[in-house]
A and B are shown apart, each in its own frame.
Chain A
Amino acid sequence: MFLDLLPAKDINFDPYNKSETTIRVENDNKENNKVSKIAPATLIVAFLVIVAVVVIVAVTKVVNKELRNA
């Protein structure tokens, strides 16, 4: 129970003889880190792509209108 609450790096263990709990805590930390790093980046790229598409469509409309009016 107590080991579950500790981060893996704080546990004093022999690296060649890890306990099952230690390995599980390490893996959990790796997973958590992966999720917290990837999610915002993906969201930002998706947001930028959406804004870029909206800008391109709007620019095309304006240029088309100006060329027809001219």
Chain B
Amino acid sequence: MHNRKETLYGIIFFAFHLCIEVVSYMLLYLKYGTYVSAFITLIYDFFAFVPQVLIGEIHNKHKTWNIGFIGIIFFAIAVVLIKAENDVIYLLTILFLSFANAILHECGAIAVASVSKKNIFPSALFVSGGTIGIVIGRYFAEANFSINYLFIFIIIMLIILTVTDKTWCRNDVSYINVNIVNVDTGKIVIFLSAFFVLVVRSFMGFVLPLAWKVSFLHTVLLSLFLGIGKALGGYLCDTIGYKKVTFISTILCVPFIVFGNKFMILSLIGIMLFSMTMSITYAMLLSIIKNNPGVAFGITTIGLFVGVLPLLFVSPSDSINVMVIVILSILSYITLIRVIK
């Protein structure tokens, strides 16, 4: 069902995404150690997540431009500037870091969408690389690794961009063509449904009850299962269908998450199932925004940003979290099942 080229691209851009997050998160956590201030997080998240739609649109208008090279330059500048003690220069570094992150995410999403014809699995593979990269980047920062190592990751990204350039930077490129929604529902309703679920899932991802997570090894396991879930979700969407995966990722995951608060294995299974939703919402947007995967992917990242926003200002307690998880999961299921074919 999945051809070799699209799976290969999925794997290559899994590594690409991993490199993006290693560089971003090591630089982000380098100054603050284990805790990054809400103000810096807000700036970083906004400029890394929200402008991706614009980058997708720029690429759509100038398809032969490999905008990824600008992202690489921004990353290199950020690595050099991060050593500066001045607060103004530090903020400038965060801006370079955010824009580099946004540009390179878009390149990965567009490149994978240009080789995949109907399957969402390669895109899911690409996305799953990020969760692993985040934990590696944070570890590098906390263990005080030399930032010079980051140039290895930057060079890997540069090589991937150069090698794949001919595939996705062409005027006659065609993109993934999925159609998983009832178009009769109306494009605005489908868009709002996908966006609502994206925001809700992003929010839920940060309020999951994880009493068992007390060490760095637990964080590694959590990221690993999140990554596996994202990739597996894409594979299952292509093989057993989007409706079944919708049920698995919104309803079936709930008991595992709720009762897994103190039981790591249960919780990890629940989180793996929970993270499968990503492929569904991305495919919904690809179904209504044809021939512009950059914009479709950018909308998903805006949803992630909006979902995180409330948590920069409040932190709900565990008992409230369980209620919120149950209610939002049911709402997500109802919202998705009404528009998916």
Report A-chain residues with C-beta under 8 Å of the C-beta of B50. 52, 55-56, 59
**In the complex, what distance in Å separates the CA atom of A58 from the CA atom of B51?**
9
> Do A70 and B290 touch (CB < 8 A)?
yes
Task: Pick out which of these stretches binds chain B: A5-13, A15-23, A25-33, A61-69.
Answer: A61-69
Report A-chain residues with C-beta under 8 Å of the C-beta of B53. 59, 62-63
Task: State the total of A-B contacts with C-beta under 8 angstroms.
Answer: 40
> Do B295 and A66 touch (CB < 8 A)?
yes
Question: DSSP class of B's interface residues: helix, strand, loop or mixed?
Answer: helix
**In the complex, what distance in Å separates the CA atom of A70 from the CA atom of B88?**
42
**In the complex, what distance in Å separates the CA atom of A66 from the CA atom of B288?**
9
Pick from A55, A56, A67: contact of B191, CB below 8 A: A67
Q: Smallest distance from the beta carbon of A59 to chain B beta carbons, Å? A: 5
> Do B51 and A55 touch (CB < 8 A)?
yes
Interface string of A17-56 (1 = CB under 8 A from B): 0000000000000000000000011001000100010011
Q: Smallest distance from the beta carbon of A66 to chain B beta carbons, Å? A: 5
If A40-B88, A44-B91 touch, whether A70 touches B54 (CB-CB below 8 Å) is no
> Do A55 and B290 touch (CB < 8 A)?
no
Classify chain B: how many residues form its interface, as a range: 20 to 34
Report B-chain residues with C-beta under 8 Å of the C-beta of A58. 54
Question: Which B residues between 36 and 85 are near A, CB-CB below 8 angstroms?
Answer: 43, 46-47, 50-51, 53-54, 57
Greatest chain B CB density within 10 A among A40, A52, A59, A70 is at: A70
**In the complex, what distance in Å separates the CA atom of A55 from the CA atom of B46?**
10
Query: Given A44-B91, A59-B302, A63-B295, 4 other A-B contacts at CB below 8 A?
Result: A41-B87, A55-B51, A59-B298, A63-B299
Q: Can you list 8 A-B contacts (CB < 8 A)?
A: A41-B87, A52-B46, A59-B51, A59-B54, A62-B53, A63-B191, A66-B289, A67-B191
